[in-house]
Structure 1
Amino acid sequence: MQAVLFDLDNTLYPAERDIFSLIDVRINRYMEEVVAIDPADVDGLRRRYWEDYGATLQGLIRYHGVDPEDYLNYVHAVDVSSKLSLDLALRQTLSNLRLPSYVFTNGSRCHVDRVVTALGLDGLFAGVFDIRTAAYQPKPNPGPYQQILDELELSGEQCIMVEDQLQNLKMAKEFGMKTVLVGSGCSLAPRCDYVDAQLERSADIGELVDDWLRA
């Protein structure tokens, strides 16, 4: 194994921090005020775009001619420090991890930077792969996974994927990655053969990585 790929939101920090509630408000506002979509249609469109493309952004690009950079800058302009604080346990884990760590997220680089800084993790990631990695195609589309492997010059079997979303781990497993589900628990996880391990929080991953490296 040569690399650990960490999702960002609800993976590096607990879902209970609810950062997405801040972003959610700005997505709706962008659709209503910038794209001029009728407020009554916003929720339905968002559900449709998530089901069809994995992200609201792809539907807005395809059907509304939205500039993806304008969208990303707008929706991620939130004060994450109001909900996040230094995570010394996670910092120690990443500092001692025997493999290089990367962020792999459907968010933007500016959002990554804000979250990483708020958690006190600056300088601990070897790189960041954001929504721009494969022309704004989000996980679980295969494009960004393949692009990351190409850029790192690694095979899927050489990577560990750490995520809170089962569908993203399923795709990671299709590429041959070791998969770790992070969170307070998913009732489906024990029946998912594409989940190799489950942890309450990312800070607990050090011992698991050591075990896999020794195996």
Structure 2
Amino acid sequence: MRFNTFFFDLDETLYPSSSGLWVEIRGRINAYMHERMGFTPEQIEAVREKYFQEYGTTLRGLQANHQVDMDDYLAFVHTVPLDAYLRPDPELRAALMSIPARKFIFTNADCAHAGRVTNALGLDGVFDGCIDVHVIAPYCKPMPESFQLALAAAGNPDPHKCVLLDDQGRITRAARALGMYTVLVGKDSPGFVADEALVNLAELPALTKYWRL
């Protein structure tokens, strides 16, 4: 199979979970719900889990039930010192640049955050575009509609010629159901939710050499 389009998740896919960045962002989400919305600390985790299960993300649940302004929320939760968590990654850059196909970031965050993260990782100019929470509104990964909107934003490539890389099995499973080839990132086994698994994206060239790109 010749793949021509790659969709990369952003948080905890382009950088490892061990960086601690997502823990910081989670803390900012909790702070937003407490400081801006009045949720008690005891309520926050239960509400977030409920919205995650019902709406796919905390943000979509807050929008549906509390009319939260998306841009205000995203600006607040992504106000973090990225340089405390991320460094330029030449090995990752080389791995991504070795792929002779179009590459898109596909994230439930926004492109402003994606731009800051890729800049911190030294990945400027690597990606052909960013598909974010605005593009796929009112949906989010792993909703099937979000993948259809992402494909449209990427020029409607054949899903069977697309690769999706994500750290969440619920998302790789949904993409796989649409015909995409899927890679579960941050794991040593794909289990039943993906076609392949990579502990680190720097390992990508070893995988793609078998794909006749």
Note whether the superposition's TM-score is higher than 0.5: yes
- Give structure 1 regions of 4+ aligned residues with deviation exceeding 6 angstroms: none
Is the 2:109–2:133 Cα contact (8 Å) retained in structure 1?
yes
TM-score normalised by structure 1 residue count: 0.92
Residue 136 of structure 1, CA deviation: 4.3
Distance 1:33 1:210 in 2: 49
Structure 2 equivalent of residue 137 of structure 1: 139
CA contact (8 A) 1:172 1:179 kept: yes
Secondary structure class of the residue paired with 2:212:
helix
Aligned residues: 210
Asked whether the 8 Å contact 1:159–1:178 carries over to 2, the reply is yes
- Residue of 82, 87, 99 corresponding to 2:84: 82
Output the CA distance in 2 between the equivalents of 1:208 and 1:136: 34
Equivalents in 1 of 2:75, 2:57: separation in Å? Answer: 16
The amino acid that maps onto 2:165 is V
Q: CA deviation at 1:69?
A: 1.1
**C-alpha separation between the residues in 2 aligned to 1:91 and 1:143?**
30
Unaligned runs of 5+ in 1: none
2:165 paired residue among 158, 162, 172: 162
Q: TM-score, normalised by structure 2?
A: 0.93
Counterparts of 2:46 and 2:140, CA distance in 1 = 20
**Other structure's SS at 1:27 match:** helix
Could you list the per-position Cα deviations for residues 135-169 of structure 1 after superposition, in whole angstroms to 9, with x for gaps in the alignment?
A: 14221111221011122221210100111111100
| Cα pair 1:105 1:129 within 8 Å, conserved | yes
Q: What is the correspondence of 1:109-148 to structure 2 with a 5 Å cutoff?
A: 109-148=111-150
CA contact (8 A) 2:187 2:197 kept: no
Q: Which residue of 2 aligns with 1:212?
A: 211
- Greater helix share, structure number: 1
Alignment RMSD (CA, Å): 1.4
Q: In 1, distance between residues paired with 2:180 and 2:172?
A: 9
Match of 2:66 in 1: 64
Distance in 1 of aligned mates of 2:196 and 2:63: 36
Deviations 1:113-139 (A, max 9, x none): 111011100010000111112214221
Q: Cα deviations across residues 59-83 of structure 1 (Å, max 9, x unaligned)?
A: 1111111111111111111112101
